[in-house]
């Protein structure tokens, strides 16, 4: 099985998350590439402090980490595409001011919305802005701020101040964790604050989260679950976690069900 490099390194990191260790020889055989190619992949990931190389392979780093967005694109790809499609169908027709935070699923959603007319998109995500900047029938508003390399998002006081002066009918928010107990959470406290500011400026909040994020609680809180009108997830989500979110009063749509 030969994979593109981004998919290959994403798969390596997934195996590390599950098993704690990987063997370079086995990876080379599985991915149908040379041992030298795998060694380069492992070296790149070690340089980014996402693993620690050993003789013949690698081990997971001790601390929990956030995968850079370029490696997350290949994870749960089919589920994220279904979530993006279901979310696009939820959005009102006609003139709409829409907020989009960063994230792989919100990026997929932006591609589905690129041909809409009468749409204003407010975003702090560089990759979403690049996707939409040349669409002549769509108005794009960017926040400014300090770039986070892990998520391609502009965050911090500059982004927060820009958002404070804007009003959005709907905000679609990507998260690293969502649960009835923990609400919306992410790995970075500065990003969490910027996302919370966007949520406060929106009339309605839709969260897009693949099943691996349902029931998960990360370091930085964004807002309680009561601030979310709708969660769009997929069939891999833990049923107990989904039910707890429903009981808290949030509508849950399971894409692909």
Strands (E), the chain: 21-23, 51-54, 57-60, 96-100, 119-123, 138-142, 146-148, 153-155, 168-174, 177-179, 183-186, 202-208, 220-223, 230-234, 251-255
Find how far residue 104's CA is from the centre of its chain: 4
- What's residue 63's pLDDT? 46
* Token representation of residue 225: 């679950």
Q: Please, are residues 179 and 209 in contact by the beta-carbon 8 Å criterion?
A: no
- For 77-255, the fitting CATH number among 3.30.530.20, 3.40.50.1360, 1.10.1240.10, 3.40.50.10490 is 3.40.50.1360
Architecture of domain 5-65: Orthogonal Bundle (1.10)
**pLDDT, tens digit (0-9, with 9 covering 90-100), for 52-99:** 889 889 887 654 455 555 555 555 778 999 999 999 999 999 999 999
**pLDDT, tens digit (0-9, with 9 covering 90-100), for 120-171:** 999 999 999 999 998 989 999 999 999 987 788 999 999 999 999 999 999 9
The average pLDDT across 223-232 equals: 98
More confidently predicted of 214 and 70: 214
**pLDDT, tens digit (0-9, with 9 covering 90-100), for 4-53:** 787 788 788 878 866 778 999 999 998 899 999 999 999 888 887 778 88
Distance CA 184, CA 224 (A): 6
Residue 235: which of 14, 76, 7 has the closest Cα? Answer: 76
Domain ranges of the chain: 5-65, 77-255
Distance CA 255, CA 78 (A): 11
The radius of gyration of the chain's CA atoms, rounded to the nearest angstrom, is 19
Q: Please, are residues 121 and 139 in contact by the beta-carbon 8 Å criterion?
A: yes
The average pLDDT across 185-195 equals: 95
- What's residue 66's pLDDT? 52
């Amino acid at each position: 099985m030969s994979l593109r490099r981004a998919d290959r390194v994403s798969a390596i990191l997934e195996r590390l998350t599950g098993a704690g260790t990987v063997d370079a020889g086995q990876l080379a055989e599985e991915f149908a590439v040379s041992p030298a190619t795998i060694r380069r992949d492992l070296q790149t990931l070690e340089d980014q402090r996402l693993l620690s190389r050993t003789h013949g392979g690698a081990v997971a780093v001790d601390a929990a980490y956030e995968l850079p967005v370029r490696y997350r694109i290949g994870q749960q790809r089919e589920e994220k595409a279904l979530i993006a499609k279901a979310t696009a169908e939820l959005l009102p027709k006609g003139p709409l001011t829409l907020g989009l935070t960063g994230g792989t699923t919100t990026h997929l959603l932006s591609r589905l919305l690129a041909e809409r007319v009468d749409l204003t998109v407010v975003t702090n995500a560089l990759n979403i802005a690049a996707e939409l900047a040349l669409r002549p029938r769509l108005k794009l508003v960017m926040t400014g701020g300090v770039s986070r390399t892990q998520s391609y998002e502009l965050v911090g006081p500059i982004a927060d101040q820009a958002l404070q002066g804007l009003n959005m009918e709907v905000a679609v928010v990507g998260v690293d964790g969502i649960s009835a107990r923990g609400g919306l959470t992410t790995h970075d406290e500065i990003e969490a604050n910027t996302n919370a500011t966007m949520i406060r400026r929106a009339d309605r909040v839709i969260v897009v989260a693949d099943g691996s994020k349902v029931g998960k609680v990360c370091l930085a809180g964004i807002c309680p679950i009561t601030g979310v009108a709708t969660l769009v997830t997929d069939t891999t989500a833990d049923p107990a976690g989904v039910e707890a979110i429903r009981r808290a009063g949030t509508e849950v749509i399971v894409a692909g069900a």
